[in-house]
Amino acid sequence: MSLLRRIEQGQTGPGEDSGQVRVGSLQSRRVAPPDGDAQRDTYFDLKTRVQNRLLAELDPSTDVTQVGVVRGTIRDLFEQVLTEENIVLSRQEKHRLFEQIAAEILGFGPLQGLLEDDEITEIMVNGPKNIYIEKRGKLNRVPLSFESDEHVMRIIERIVAPLGRRVDESSPYVDARLPDGSRVNAVIPPISLVGPTLTIRKFSKNPITIEQLIKFGSLTPESLQFLKSCVEARLNIIISGGTGSGKTTLLNILSQFIPSDERIVTIENAAELQLRQEHVVTLESRPPNIEGKGEITIRQLVVNSLRMRPDRIIVGEIRDEEALDMLQAMNTGHDGSMTTAHSNSPRDTLARIETMALMAGMELPVRAIREQIASAIDLVIHQERLRDGTRKVVNVTEISGMEGDVITMTDIFAFEQRGIDEGQVVGDLRPTGLRPKAISQIEATGIHLPPSIFGVGPRRGY
């Protein structure tokens, strides 16, 4: 099969081990120089002609997984084509043209530069002509575009095909991931009325560290010390918050505190957790095939994980009836389990879990479900993305038990906002002065926390 044919079928580019995704495109992106339509057309025609010559000249037997070698070959052929066709370009124009062509063949085309920018945390493609990015918590439009809906579709198909997933009119939306763990969601017509849309939640090449989390003000040293002891003491933890509030990032941070001699099973829709322990089994759900068969749900994976002798079960996010099975697992000896959930507050987190458990169709009385929740969950950590774009933990709340039909909750730490300074939210995550009920469980594991962490006695660092 020729290299040209493989590119058309989305089969070129480096493999997953190289950390890049194969997103070449034969239909080039028109990059507008500053001087009008005539120059844009001339530049586009030049780029298309040179790119097609390169594809025709490349040896079909070239190992396209060797990115450095292929890039060098492309550069040599690029110079040769320019010489043969007497094309004269300035050094800057030549560099830009080469980088764009190389990105189309080996990278993500128009998105390649955005993906390489470590400061960009999210990329949003709203049809071929509108591309937005999130940087430092703020959204901005960028002067980039695709040529057509088909150009966007080729990139989407290249992302999902290596994962064995599909996106078409019968299945017009899909969750996927890039080889580096970045989360991808794609929605195409007829569901999307603006053309194919693509949302990429980037994962940093260098994962956020504990020190950075404290530096950013997401947590304080005292609250982090308490959370570390909770993980080591095998408390069951729910991390809640809105979209983009940093739930998965915090889950990755807390998972570092799990002892290396424990067996961990992770369950996700699209595998993105980056656990550093050796003894980790990663499970990923699977959508139905084109015949509507073969679907594997999160709930089925949770049930199956109980037979895999896990010390801890980590579910990337609970959205549905799997909440009931997660509660059952937490109540049947799998202490220290963790998951995330979308919600607006710690109290709302419990209400959502209750609703999701009812979706399992077991016709259990509400009180029985609430008793399961109160018994299974020890701690709710709630995160928010504040108005200045920063992401902070705003509540660390302990589940105390039941009073009548109501689940009782106690804030151990709560965010106290003192004001806004030049658009930045000013405040701290402060202890409430209440000693957690779980302290006896923590101390039973040999961990002794100073009372000052909870605001009892002399405070530190405030």
Report the CATH number that the domain containing residue 155 is assigned in CATH: 3.30.450.370
CB atoms within 10 A of CB 367: 11
Given 171, 186, 205, the domain boundary residue is 205
Query: Residue 223: its pLDDT value, please?
Result: 94
Instruction: Specify burial of residue 204 (Cβ count, 10 A radius: 0-12, 13-18, 19+).
Output: middle
Given 205, 231, 265, the domain boundary residue is 205
Q: From its phi and psi, is residue 224 left (phi > 0), alpha (psi between -120 and 50) or beta? A: alpha
Domain contains 462: no
Query: Residue 26: its pLDDT value, please?
Result: 33
Q: Do residues 332 and 428 share a domain?
A: yes
Given 81, 107, 133, the domain boundary residue is 107
Q: Do residues 395 and 317 share a domain?
A: yes
Q: Do residues 31 and 122 share a domain?
A: no
CB atoms within 10 A of CB 304: 13
Q: Do residues 376 and 422 share a domain?
A: yes
Whether 238 and 341 have beta carbons less than 8 Å apart is answered as: yes
Cα separation, 30 vs 342, whole angstroms: 40
Q: Do residues 77 and 31 share a domain?
A: yes
Phi and psi at 221, nearest 5°, equal -55, -35
The separation between the first and the last C-alpha atoms of the chain, rounded to the nearest angstrom, is 67
Q: Do residues 310 and 183 share a domain?
A: no
Domain total in the chain = 3
Query: Residue 264: its pLDDT value, please?
Result: 93
Q: Do residues 322 and 359 share a domain?
A: yes
Query: Residue 63: its pLDDT value, please?
Result: 60
10-residue block means of pLDDT along the chain (462 residues)? 40 38 35 46 69 71 66 80 79 82 74 86 93 88 88 84 81 84 89 94 79 89 94 95 88 91 89 83 85 85 91 90 90 89 94 92 88 94 90 94 93 92 86 92 92 70 39
Domain contains 241: yes
Which amino acid, 298?
Answer: I
Query: Residue 42: its pLDDT value, please?
Result: 65
CA 227 to mean position of chain CA atoms = 22
Q: Do residues 200 and 272 share a domain?
A: no
Query: Residue 459: its pLDDT value, please?
Result: 43
SS (H, E, C) the chain: CCHHHHHHCCCCCCCHHHCCCCCCCCCCCCCCCCCHHHHHHHHHHHHHHHHHHHHHHCCCCCCCCCHHHHHHHHHHHHHHHHHHCCCCCCHHHHHHHHHHHHHHHHCCHHHHHHHHCCCEEEEEEECCCCEEEEECCEEEEECCCCCCHHHHHHHHHHHHHHHCCCCECCECEEEEECCCCCEEEEECCCCCCCCCEEEEECCCCCCCCHHHHHHCCCCCHHHHHHHHHHHHCCCCEEEEECCCCCHHHHHHHHHCCCCCCCCEEEEECCCCCCCCCCCEEEEECECCCCCCCCCECHHHHHHHHCCCCCCEEEECCCCCCHHHHHHHHHCCCCCCCEEEEECCCHHHHHHHHHHHHHCCCCCCCHHHHHHHHHHHCCEEEEEEECCCCCEEEEEEEEEEEEECCEEEEEEEEEEEEEEEECCEEEEEEEECCCCCCCHHHHHHCCCCCCHHHHCCCCCCCC
Report the CATH number that the domain containing residue 242 is assigned in CATH: 3.40.50.300
Domain contains 461: no
Range of the domain at 116: 111-205
Query: Residue 395: its pLDDT value, please?
Result: 95
Q: Do residues 154 and 249 share a domain?
A: no
Domain contains 177: yes
Whether 44 and 27 have beta carbons less than 8 Å apart is answered as: no
Residues 6+ apart with CB under 8 A from 350: 370, 373, 377, 380, 399, 407, 409
Phi and psi at 348, nearest 5°, equal -65, -30
Q: Do residues 434 and 336 share a domain?
A: yes
Domain contains 386: yes
pTM for the model stands at 0.74
Domain contains 459: no
Whether 244 and 385 have beta carbons less than 8 Å apart is answered as: yes
- Residue 425 pairs in a beta bridge with 420
Q: Do residues 154 and 253 share a domain?
A: no
Domain contains 460: no
Domain contains 64: yes
Q: Do residues 380 and 413 share a domain?
A: yes
Residues 6+ apart with CB under 8 A from 92: none
